[in-house]
Structure 1
Amino acid sequence: MLNKLSAVRQKLTPNLRKIIGNTAWLFTEKIVQMLLGLLVGLWLARYLGPERFGRFNYAIAIVGLFVPFAKLGLDNIVIRNLARDISHKNETLGTAFILKFIASIVTFFVTFGVVFFSTSSGSPNYQETLWLVSIVATGAIVQSFDIIDYWFQSQVQSKYSVWARNAAYVLINAVKIVLIQMKAPLVAFATAIVVEYILSAIGMLIAYRLTGNLIKAWHVSFRYAKSLLKDSWPLILSGIVIMIYMRIDQVMLGQMVGDESVGIYSAAVKISELWYFVPGAIVNSVFPIIVQSKEISEAVYYKRLQQLFTMVSALAYVVAIPVTFLSTQIVTLLYGNNYVEAGAILNIHIWAGLFVSLGVARETWITTEGLMKFSAATAAAGAVVNIVLNYFFIPYYGGLGAAIATVISQLVSAYAVGAFYPPTRKIFLHQTKAILLLGLFGM
Structure 2
Amino acid sequence: MSRYLSNLFWLLSDRVFMMVFQLSLFASIKRLYGLEVLGGWATLNNISQLLLSVFLFGIDIVVVKKIIDKPSHAGREIGSAIFLQFLGLLVYALIFLFITLTFYKTIPSSLNYALILISANFLSLFAKFIFFHYSALVESKYRAITILTSVAISYGFLWICIYNEFYIFYSYVFFYFVQALISIYIYINYFPAATKWFVDISISKNYFRVGLKLIISTVSVSLFTQCDVILLEYFSGAEETGAFSAALRLSAIWFMLGGLIANAFFPKIVEIEKISQTASFIFIKWISGIVCAMSIYAALISTVLSGFIMKLLYGNGMELSAQIFSIHMWSGIFIFLGSFSSKWLFSKEYINFEVQKTLLAALLNIALNLIVIPKYGAIGAAIVSLFSYFVANLLFFACTKKTRGIFYVQAESFKYVFLPWLLIKDYGKVKCQFR
TM-score by length of 2: 0.91
The answer (yes or no) to whether the contact 2:72–2:194 under 8 Å persists in 1 is no
Are 2:409 and 1:430 aligned?
yes
The answer (yes or no) to whether the contact 1:349–1:406 under 8 Å persists in 2 is yes
Taking every aligned residue pair, what percent have the same amino acid on both sides? 24
The answer (yes or no) to whether the contact 1:269–1:349 under 8 Å persists in 2 is yes
The one-letter amino acid paired with 1:166 is: L
Q: Which position in structure 1 is the counterpart of 2:431?
A: none
Q: Which position in structure 2 is the counterpart of 1:4?
A: none
**Counterpart among 305, 313, 321 of residue 284 in structure 2:** 305
The answer (yes or no) to whether the contact 1:77–1:232 under 8 Å persists in 2 is no
Distance 2:183 2:361 in 1: 35
The answer (yes or no) to whether the contact 1:62–1:133 under 8 Å persists in 2 is no
The one-letter amino acid paired with 2:159 is: I
Note closer, same or farther for the CA distance 1:138–1:69 as it changes in structure 2 (3 Å cut): farther
Q: Which position in structure 2 is the counterpart of 1:137?
A: 118
Are 2:312 and 1:333 aligned?
yes
Distance 2:187 2:197 in 1: 12
Structure 1, residues 292-332: CA drift from partner, whole Å, max 9, x if none? Answer: 11233232222122222222212211211111122222222
**Unaligned segments of structure 2, at least 5 residues:** 427-435
Distance 1:215 1:338 in 2: 56
The answer (yes or no) to whether the contact 2:83–2:204 under 8 Å persists in 1 is no
**Unaligned segments of structure 1, at least 5 residues:** 1-15
The answer (yes or no) to whether the contact 1:245–1:382 under 8 Å persists in 2 is yes
Note closer, same or farther for the CA distance 1:58–1:374 as it changes in structure 2 (3 Å cut): same
The answer (yes or no) to whether the contact 1:283–1:364 under 8 Å persists in 2 is yes
Deviation at 1:423, TM superposition (A): 1.1
The answer (yes or no) to whether the contact 1:231–1:372 under 8 Å persists in 2 is no
Distance 1:245 1:18 in 2: 34
Deviation at 1:214, TM superposition (A): 4.8
Distance 1:116 1:39 in 2: 28
The answer (yes or no) to whether the contact 1:58–1:250 under 8 Å persists in 2 is yes
Distance 2:68 2:90 in 1: 29
Distance 2:220 2:190 in 1: 37
Deviation at 1:77, TM superposition (A): 0.8
Are 2:56 and 1:71 aligned?
yes
1:337-352 mapped onto 2 (5 Å cutoff): 337-352=316-331
**Counterpart among 149, 168, 172 of residue 167 in structure 1:** 149
**Counterpart among 286, 289, 309 of residue 268 in structure 2:** 289
1:149-164 mapped onto 2 (5 Å cutoff): 149-164=131-146
**Counterpart among 15, 25, 31 of residue 10 in structure 2:** 25
Q: Which position in structure 2 is the counterpart of 1:46?
A: 31
Deviation at 1:396, TM superposition (A): 1.2
Are 2:159 and 1:177 aligned?
yes
Distance 2:196 2:11 in 1: 28
Deviation at 1:40, TM superposition (A): 4.9
Distance 1:332 1:20 in 2: 34
Distance 1:214 1:108 in 2: 33
Structure 1, residues 159-192: CA drift from partner, whole Å, max 9, x if none? Answer: 101111111122112212222223334xx50x33
Note closer, same or farther for the CA distance 1:135–1:43 as it changes in structure 2 (3 Å cut): closer
Deviation at 1:340, TM superposition (A): 1.7
Q: Which position in structure 1 is the counterpart of 2:382?
A: 403
Q: Which position in structure 2 is the counterpart of 1:10?
A: none
Q: Which position in structure 1 is the counterpart of 2:235?
A: 256
Structure 1, residues 241-273: CA drift from partner, whole Å, max 9, x if none? Answer: 111111111111111111111111111112222
The one-letter amino acid paired with 2:91 is: V
The answer (yes or no) to whether the contact 1:50–1:339 under 8 Å persists in 2 is no
Q: CA RMSD in A?
A: 2.1
Deviation at 1:217, TM superposition (A): 4.1
1:304-383 mapped onto 2 (5 Å cutoff): 304-383=283-362
**Counterpart among 407, 417, 423 of residue 396 in structure 2:** 417
Between 1:430-439 and 1:323-332, the stretch displaced more is 430-439
1:187-198 mapped onto 2 (5 Å cutoff): 188-189=168-169, 191-198=170-177
Deviation at 1:374, TM superposition (A): 1.3
